[in-house]
Structure 1
Amino acid sequence: MKGQSYSATIEVALSQKDVFTRMNDFTKWWTRHIEGQTAKLNDEFILRYGDAQGDIHYSKHKLIEVIPDKKVVSLVTESKINWIEKDKNEWTNTKMVFELTPKGDTTELKFTHEGLLPEKECYTECAKGWDTIIKQNLYAYLSEGKALSHDFKARIAAKISPDEAIKKISDIPAWWDVSFSGSAENQNDTFIVKMGGDSFFDFTVTELIPGKRVVWLVTDCHMPWYSDKKEWANTKLIFDLAENNGITHLTFTHEGLTPEVECFKDCEPGWTHWIKTSLFSYFTTGKGNFNRPYAKK
């Protein structure tokens, strides 16, 4: 017997009209990687995540049903999810359904990804993703007005223990092509990285929870390539880890690195390579990948 499509339900103390209006601005709670319109019938938009080698997740959506204050249905007309081994077009012809129901002074929002079934290859990872997007991001935006952070994020998963992953993350020269001095192995350790010329970045390991989390604070920096040479100062590099069935899932966040800052145009492809390509390679093969597709400054 086949299972049911993924669904998630949240309830917030807002009118249906307010929920409907806020929900339709997908960039506030889903992802900033959306191009196009997301509010009216027949609107089309593209969702695209990528790395240095190209798209990791591409999907094109069309709003095929919009009932004001009640329901929105988005059809996936095209898709390509490159981390799926068998059918990379698994999302094509599936639907994202948002249904609003009044519950006294609150509104219930039920989200269903029709066609995302337990037998699908991407179900486990996609269900986890939707749990975060709907139950955390969308709920926080609707109930507290907290829009999705646009801090840079990158995610990888590998067959490695969380403790071993943290050990490898701390071995910075093995996966990040920088000049390194100091130590990143223990909480309160300090280290310096340089990227050529008179650049420098001073770090302190402000948090290290074995098997779960590492946080590096940039205490000072000099970035000669930009008008604000201290742009990374007081930003944080955060590595969050979770293990499931022998697979460690890593979420990397550069807190403070947003599209509004000058270096984002260079730092986004840079971090994408160092996390998704080089650190992933170090996790899986024991060797980082320094063959980055952009010029070193």
Structure 2
Amino acid sequence: MPNENFTRTISVSASVDKAYWALTQGMHKWWTTPDRPMVRTGDRSKFTFPPGRSFWTFEAVALEPGKLVEMRCVEALHLHEGQPADIEQEWLDTRVRWDIKSCEEGAEITLEHIGLVPDLLCHGICSAGWDMFFTNSLKQFLDTGTGHPHPSTQKEAQAG
């Protein structure tokens, strides 16, 4: 049976250390602003998407500098107009894993959202979101220094 988890890989010109920083402490530069960075295993960060209603809280389950960031969704409230209420908790207990490795040009990062599978109501919405934020915004941030986080967090990203 093929792996149905959402998976993407990007190559960036930044170092593995810069990639690790972006995935633990610099998410405001390319995704959205969490309430706190992830520094140690067990840390929890809440990612709210303005206007402040939809959110996901993740717990760091594996942090290996320059190599791996893995977090598990421990709270979820995904509100999406026109979707059934079942969508609200679909990320609960899913895991987001970033594998980082050095390559000739800089770093290669593979994102696997374990549990984000085609059967979920949010699959199309969330896949498009990861493509926008991971494949485009994170890559651009690590290649140029400027990403495209959620529009309401861009001022914070530019300031921080």
Matches within 5 A, 1:77-226: 147-170=1-24, 171-176=26-31, 178-196=32-50, 197-225=52-80, 226=83
Structure 2: gaps (5+ residues): 152-160
Q: Distance in 2 between matches of 1:224 and 1:291?
A: 16
Distance 1:291 1:234, change over 3 A: closer
Q: Give percent identity, aligned residues only.
A: 25
Q: Distance in 2 between matches of 1:184 and 1:214?
A: 9
In 1, are the aligned partners of 2:29 and 2:149 still within 8 Å (CA)? no
1:242 equivalent to 2:101? Answer: yes
Distance 1:150 1:173, change over 3 A: same
In 1, are the aligned partners of 2:28 and 2:149 still within 8 Å (CA)? no
Match among 134, 141, 146 for residue 287 of structure 1: 146
3-state SS, counterpart of residue 3 of structure 2 = coil
1:277 equivalent to 2:136? Answer: yes
Q: Distance in 2 between matches of 1:291 and 1:187?
A: 26
Task: State the AA in 2 paired with 1:162.
Answer: V
Q: Distance in 1 between matches of 2:79 and 2:22?
A: 29
Which has the higher Rg, Structure 1 or Structure 2? 1
In 1, are the aligned partners of 2:15 and 2:107 still within 8 Å (CA)? yes
Q: Which has a greater percent of helix?
A: 2
Deviation for aligned residue 1:162 = 1.0
TM-score by length of 2: 0.83
Q: Distance in 1 between matches of 2:22 and 2:53?
A: 27
Deviation for aligned residue 1:180 = 1.9
Q: Which has a greater percent of strand?
A: 1
Higher relative contact order (CA 8 A, sep 6+): 2
In 2, are the aligned partners of 1:167 and 1:185 still within 8 Å (CA)? no
Deviations 1:148-174 (A, max 9, x none): 211111110012221121011221111
Deviations 1:216-264 (A, max 9, x none): 1101111122422211000011100111224211100111001110001
1:232 equivalent to 2:91? Answer: yes
TM-score by length of 1: 0.46
